[in-house]
C-alpha cells in the first residue's frame, strides 16, 4: 500500500487566535508605484485622500489568487487623518500604513475573493506585516506538515497528542529563528495538549525559558500561557509550575526587554490574583538561594508591583 503523503498547507480556522490559521490568504507583495490625491477635509472633520498603489505579487503562501507570482496589479485605498501634525485615534489599516516604493509586505487576509487587490482592502486585510515575517509562514508550513503526518500515524485517541508533541519539538528546534507569528500558530495548535500533558507542559516551559530563543517567540508564548493559566483557576499544579519557570526567566539578562511586563502583569497577577495562588513564596521557590536571587533581581525595580512581589518573596 502506498504511503499517504498528502499535505494541503495551512488549514483555515476562522476563529483561531493565530493569524496564520485564521487567514484565507497569505501572500507577499512589493510596492512598485504610488499616486495620491490631495488631502481634503470631509464633513466628519477628518482629512481624506485616495492612494493608488501599484504592486507586484512575490509569493503565494496560502489560498488561491487569480494572478501569478511576479505579476503586477493595482489597488486604490482610502486614507484619513486628523491633520498632518495630530494623530490621537486609529483610523484604519491603510491610514496608518506608510507604503513606499520598494517596500515589501506579508499580506494576512480573509475573504472569499481570489483578487489580491480586493484582499488588500480594509475589509479583508487583517494585517500588513513586514515581508520578513514570511519566514514564520514557511516555518508554520513545515510544522503543519509534521503535525498532519503525526496525526495520520496514530489512532484517533492519541493522534492529537502525538501531533502536538511533534509540532512542539519542531518549535524547540526552530526557537532561534521563529517569531511571534509562528508562536501564535504553535500555541493555537498545541495549547490543549500542553495544558493537560505534563511532559508537553514541561517542554513548553523549557522553550519559554530558553535564553537562546528569539525574543518575539518567548514573549508571545509567555503571554498565551499566562492567559491560559488564568483560565485554569483550579489548577494549582499548573500555576506553580509556570510561576517557577517565570521566576527563573526573571533572572536572565536576556529577559531585559520584557522583564517589566513579566513582573508588573504576569507574575504579579498570578501570585496575587489567581484563585489557586500559592500561600507563600516557599511553595513556589522552596530553595532559599533561588528566592534570594529573585529578591536581588526585584530590588532595583521601582514599580509598586515589583516591590509587593519582593515583600512576598522576602516573607519566605
**Tens-place pLDDT, residues 112-158:** 999 999 999 999 999 999 999 999 999 999 999 999 999 888 666 68
3-state secondary structure of 91: coil
Contacts of 286 (CB under 8 A, 6+ apart): none
Q: What is the pLDDT of residue 84?
A: 83
pLDDT of the residue at 135: 98
- Using a pLDDT cut of 70, give the percent of the chain over it: 96
Angle at 60 between CA 55 and CA 64, to 5 degrees: 105
Q: What residues form DSSP beta bridges with 28?
A: 59, 106
- Structure confidence at residue 92 as a pLDDT band (50, 70, 90): confident
Report the percent of the chain where pLDDT is more than 90: 88
* Mean pLDDT to the nearest integer, 200-216: 97
Which range (118-127, 154-163, 299-308) has the least confidence? Answer: 154-163
Res 2 pLDDT > 50: no
For 125, the grid coordinates are 486585510
Would you call 37 helix, strand, or coil by DSSP? Answer: coil
pLDDT digits (tens, 9 = 90+) for 215-261: 999 999 999 999 999 999 899 999 999 999 999 999 899 988 999 99
Q: Which fold does the domain 19-132 belong to in CATH?
A: OB fold (Dihydrolipoamide Acetyltransferase, E2P) (2.40.50)
Domain coordinates in residue numbering, the chain: 19-132, 154-230, 232-316
* Chain position carrying cell 525595580: 301
- Percentages helix, strand, coil for the chain (3-state, rounded to 5) are 50, 15, 35
> Would you place residue 5 in the very low, low, confident or very high pLDDT band (cuts 50, 70, 90)?
very low
269-285 pLDDT, tens per residue?
A: 999 999 999 989 999 99
Predicted pLDDT at 211: 95
- How confident is the model at residue 294, as a pLDDT? 93
Overall average pLDDT of the 55-81 stretch:
96
The confidence score (pLDDT) of residue 157 equals 64
Rounded to whole angstroms, the Cα distance separating 19 from 24 reads 10
- Cα(130)–Cα(97) distance, rounded to whole angstroms? 11
Residue/partner pairs of 250-258 with CB below 8 Å, 24 or more apart: 250/294, 250/297, 250/298, 251/293, 251/294, 251/297, 252/209, 252/211, 254/211, 254/215, 257/215, 257/219, 258/215, 258/218, 258/219, 258/222
The span from the CA of 152 to the CA of 6, in Å, is 10
- Is residue 160 helix, strand or coil? helix
Amino acid at each position: 500500500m502506498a504511503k499517504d503523503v498528502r499535505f494541503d498547507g495551512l488549514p483555515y480556522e476562522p476563529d483561531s487566535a493565530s493569524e496564520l490559521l485564521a487567514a484565507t490568504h497569505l501572500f507577499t507583495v512589493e510596492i512598485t508605484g504610488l499616486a495620491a490625491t490631495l488631502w481634503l477635509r470631509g464633513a466628519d472633520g477628518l482629512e481624506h485622500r485616495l492612494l493608488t498603489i501599484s504592486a507586484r505579487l512575490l509569493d503565494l503562501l496560502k489560498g488561491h489568487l487569480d494572478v501569478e507570482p511576479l505579476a503586477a496589479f493595482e489597488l486604490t485605498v482610502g486614507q484619513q487623518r486628523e491633520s498632518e501634525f495630530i494623530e490621537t485615534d486609529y483610523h484604519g489599516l491603510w491610514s496608518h500604513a506608510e507604503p513606499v516604493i520598494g517596500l515589501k509586505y506579508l499580506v494576512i487576509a480573509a475573504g472569499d475573493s481570489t483578487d489580491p487587490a480586493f484582499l488588500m482592502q480594509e475589509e479583508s486585510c487583517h494585517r500588513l506585516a513586514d515581508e520578513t515575517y514570511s519566514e514564520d509562514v514557511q516555518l508554520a508550513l513545515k510544522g503543519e506538515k509534521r503535525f498532519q503526518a503525526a496525526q495520520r500515524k496514530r489512532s484517533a485517541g492519541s493522534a492529537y497528542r502525538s501531533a502536538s508533541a511533534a509540532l512542539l519539538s519542531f518549535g524547540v528546534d526552530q526557537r532561534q529563528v521563529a517569531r511571534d507569528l509562528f508562536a501564535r500558530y504553535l500555541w493555537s495548535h498545541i495549547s490543549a495538549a500542553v495544558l493537560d500533558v505534563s511532559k508537553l507542559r514541561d517542554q513548553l516551559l523549557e522553550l519559554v525559558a530558553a535564553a537562546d530563543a528569539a525574543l518575539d517567540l518567548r514573549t508571545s508564548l509567555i503571554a498565551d500561557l499566562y492567559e491560559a493559566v488564568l483560565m485554569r483557576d483550579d489548577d494549582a499544579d499548573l500555576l506553580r509550575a509556570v510561576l517557577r519557570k517565570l521566576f527563573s526567566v526573571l533572572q536572565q539578562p536576556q529577559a531585559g526587554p520584557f522583564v517589566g511586563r513579566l513582573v508588573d502583569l504576569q507574575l504579579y497577577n498570578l501570585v496575587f490574583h489567581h484563585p489557586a495562588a500559592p500561600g507563600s513564596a516557599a511553595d513556589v521557590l522552596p530553595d532559599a538561594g533561588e528566592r534570594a536571587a529573585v529578591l536581588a533581581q526585584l530590588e532595583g525595580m521601582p514599580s509598586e508591583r515589583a516591590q509587593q512581589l519582593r515583600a512576598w518573596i522576602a516573607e519566605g
